[in-house]
């Protein structure tokens, strides 16, 4: 296939691809939201920690790559279409439009761009810790740590750190995880125990972040934008896939609203819950 033809994908196919990737992201959001709710369990981060550990496995990493690919393609295609569409009205109207339209769709490019910005901060808080881009709080499996621990040549510094962890109640034999290890502590311990696998302690990070009011507020704005974007996305996906029909367009609309609220509230309840200590 010559490149010219490849670039000239039909307008509908472009939309289909945006929709397809978007739909995958929609499903991911639901999954993400459900996982987040584990933070609210009063189990000292047991369940959430286990989940995060599972998320670190190689199997999940494949999905992670797909997810990122989807996200990037969704955004790139959307911006491309937006850019192309701008050229179809070289002379604009003097009077701004007063047509009643689906606001979500009109604002999709705006809410999408803002989301991208928010996502950078969100990544700074969480995902970048995972990929060791920024420092955070860490945890390590007690059992693994103990077994692997080379008993010899542990620096005094490391022993002190470890003792402090035990004294602070962050580590003990009967706990599955040694948690809330600060970045400096982790560095010391890692030196002493080169084979220990430290993981980010997202449970703790979440509690740290969500105890600051302005971060909570930022996240609420973020979720509002997510809601706005999927308010358009959900219904729109059905329309683009040709699944909208007189018989059930109302149903799709209602489902879209429900989905939007579920995602929005599901996400929002976590920072609020943590902040108010629910």
Partner 1 sequence: MNFTLHIWRQENAKAKGSFETYKVSDISPDCSFLEMLDILNEQLINDHIAHPVCFDNDCREGICGMCGLYINGRPHGNDDGVTTCQLHMRKFKDGDEIWIEPWRAKAFPVIRDLVVDRSAFDKIIQAGGYVSVTTGGVPDANAIPIPKRFADMAMDAAECIGCGACVAACKNASAMLFVGAKVSHLALLPQGQVEATERVKKMVCRMDELGFGSCTNTYACEAECPKQIKRQNIARLNREWICQIFGGNKRPE
Contact region with partner 1 (CB under 8 A), list: 11-19, 46-54, 205-213, 254-262: 11-19
Site for partner 1 in 45-84 (CB under 8 A): 81-82, 84
* Identified binder of partner 1 from the candidate list 4, 5, 42, 94, rule CB under 8 A: 94
Nearest by Cα to 36 from 179, 203, 178: 203
Near partner 1 in 96-135, by CB under 8 A: 96-102, 105-106, 108
Region of residue 98 (phi > 0: left; psi between -120 and 50: alpha; otherwise: beta): alpha
Beta bridge partners of 141: 177
5 binds partner 1 (CB under 8 A): no
Phi-psi region of 185 (alpha: psi -120 to 50; beta: other; left: phi over 0): alpha
276 — phi, psi (to 5°)? -90, 5
The three-state secondary structure class of 131 is coil
Q: Is 138 helix (H, G, I), strand (E, B) or coil?
A: strand
- Directed axis angle between helix 58-86 and helix 11-37, to 10°? 140
Closest separation between CB of residue 13 and partner 1, Å?
7
Among 85, 132, 159, 211, contact with partner 1 (rule: CB under 8 A): 85
Find the binder of partner 1 among 3, 88, 151, 167 (CB under 8 A): 88
Distance, in Å, from the CA atom of 265 to the CA atom of 278, rounded to the nearest integer, reads 15
Nearer to partner 1, 141 or 232 (CB): 232
What's the CA dihedral at 244, 250, 255, 256 to 10 degrees? 70
Check residue 249 for interaction with partner 1 (CB under 8 A).
Answer: yes
Residue 238 in the binding site for partner 1 (CB under 8 A): yes
Smaller CB separation from partner 1, 42 or 95: 95
Residues 182-221 as x/- pattern, contact with partner 1 by CB under 8 A: ----------------------------------------
Binding residue for partner 1, selected from 235, 259, 264, 275, defined by CB under 8 A: 235
């Amino acid at each position: 296939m010559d490149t010219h033809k490849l670039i000239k994908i039909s307008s509908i196919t472009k939309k289909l691809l945006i929709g397809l990737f978007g739909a995958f992201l929609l499903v991911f959001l639901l999954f993400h939201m459900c996982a987040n709710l584990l933070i609210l369990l009063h189990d000292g981060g047991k369940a959430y920690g286990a989940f995060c550990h599972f998320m670190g496995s190689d199997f999940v990493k494949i999905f992670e790559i797909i997810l990122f690919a989807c996200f990037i393609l969704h955004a790139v295609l959307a911006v491309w279409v937006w850019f192309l569409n701008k050229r179809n009205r070289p002379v604009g109207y003097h009077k701004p439009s007063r047509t009643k339209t689906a606001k979500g769709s009109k604002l999709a490019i705006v809410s999408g761009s803002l989301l991208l910005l928010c996502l950078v901060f969100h990544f700074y808080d969480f995902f970048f810790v995972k990929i060791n881009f920024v420092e955070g709080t860490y945890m390590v499996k007690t059992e693994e740590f103990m077994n692997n621990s080379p008993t010899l040549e542990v620096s005094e510094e490391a022993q002190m750190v470890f003792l402090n962890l035990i004294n602070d109640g962050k580590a003990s034999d009967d706990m599955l995880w040694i948690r809330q290890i600060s970045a400096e502590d982790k560095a010391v311990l890692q030196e002493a125990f080169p084979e220990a696998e430290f993981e980010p302690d997202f449970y703790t990070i979440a509690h740290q972040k969500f105890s600051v009011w302005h971060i909570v507020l930022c996240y609420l704005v973020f979720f509002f934008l997510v809601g706005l974007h999927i308010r358009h996305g959900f219904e729109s996906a059905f329309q683009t896939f040709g699944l909208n029909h007189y018989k059930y367009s109302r149903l799709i609309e209602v489902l879209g609203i429900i989905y939007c609220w579920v995602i929005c509230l599901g996400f929002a309840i976590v920072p609020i819950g943590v902040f108010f200590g629910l």
